[in-house]
Amino acid sequence: MRVHANDGISAQAVNSLKEDGLKVTTDHVPQDDLAAYMNKENVEVLLVRSATKVRRALIDECPQLKMIGRGGVGMDNIDVAYAKEKGLMVINTPASSSISVAELVMAHVFTLMRDLHKSNRNMPVNGAAKFGEMKKEYGKGAEVRGKVMGVIGFGRIGQWTARYALGNGMKVIYVDSRATAEAIELEVGGNTVRVPVKMVNMDELLAQADVITMHIPAQKDGLAVLSAEELAKVKPGVVIVNTARGGSIDEDALLKALKDGRVRGAALDVFVGEPSPKEELLKEEKLSLTPHIGAATTEAQDRVGDELADQIIAWRASVGVS
């Protein structure tokens, strides 16, 4: 069986697949050339992350394709229903990147609370000439301990983020249409403890949270979960982190809320129109920005690769594909 990982896969996973008798390639092929490459190489299993799109046209142009694998959680870049309708197996790795995303959220939270994003931009330019003034300007940060984190979407990533927040002395409230957790388990000194969390409605979360973090799938109606209406209800001085989807927050409304001062600062790892974020976002000093790296740690990539390889090998054995 021929496997092509167009957005890469860990060496460990490549070895596992090869040991099972599969031929594997990992060189990135441009989107426009992908169908021709797959047909020439008779690729039966296509593995992608977020960069490569697997739409109807690609599926139709590659009749030999049997499986599509997404390294990560969201499947926005794959026409999943159509692929399944055509008889293709579609898999992903929902548990592999939760810790990495949660740690990035906390990194952004600390950055925003202590204005590190502003300081890091200005120190190289003005650090020598205006050290004293900058020390005064950036010396008005806040601690996270005792603050309330509001988690929008309490699935795997949301719950891991809650663990890190609770471990740093924060209180956690959340909104979710399905989860009903009353406590989160933490490992402390080799012991497992249960720490309470509280499910609230959206208006309560907006009014109470000092930090809001978003962990939700793309909305079917395409509307932002945090629009201008919701941002008008947030607690003054809130910080907001979005590592979920580019459309989860109305970017124009967020810029306005930052300029008005109602939102102290925000962090974005995902953007509308990736890979070309709005220029105004990139220039806004109250934003802490990363280029969609939430799941991009060595450990997460190893877990992603292992999970994909295990699923491919198990599927191959179950259907008897050579």
For residues 280 and 255, is the Cβ–Cβ distance under 8 A?
yes
Which helix or strand (DSSP H or E) is residue 61 part of? helix 56-61
Cis peptide before 291, with omega less than 30 degrees from 0? Answer: no
Which tokens in the block code for residue 129? 């000439």
Catalytic residue among 61, 185, 274, 299: 274
Rounded distance, CA 248 to CA 213, Å?
11
What are the b/e assignments for 217-248, b being 16+ CB within 10 Å? Answer: eeeeeeebbbeeebbeebbeebbbbbbbbbbb
Distance from C-alpha of 318 to C-alpha of 157, rounded to nearest angstrom:
30
Bridge partner list, 175: 152
Please indicate whether residue 245 is annotated as part of the active site.
yes
User: Is-contact 251 282, C-beta < 8 A?
Assistant: no
Question: What gap in Å lies between CA 130 and CA 122, rounded to an integer?
Answer: 10
Nearest to 158 by CA among 235, 101, 93: 101
* Catalytic residue from among 49, 70, 156, 245: 245
Rg (CA), the chain: 22
The DSSP annotation for 145-158 comes to TTPEEEEE--SHHH
Selecting among 4, 49, 108, 292, the annotated active-site residue is 292
Q: Which of 25, 33, 32 minimizes the C-alpha distance to 9?
A: 25
Geometric angle at alpha carbon 304, from 301 and 305, rounded to 5° = 85
Catalytic residues: 245, 274, 292
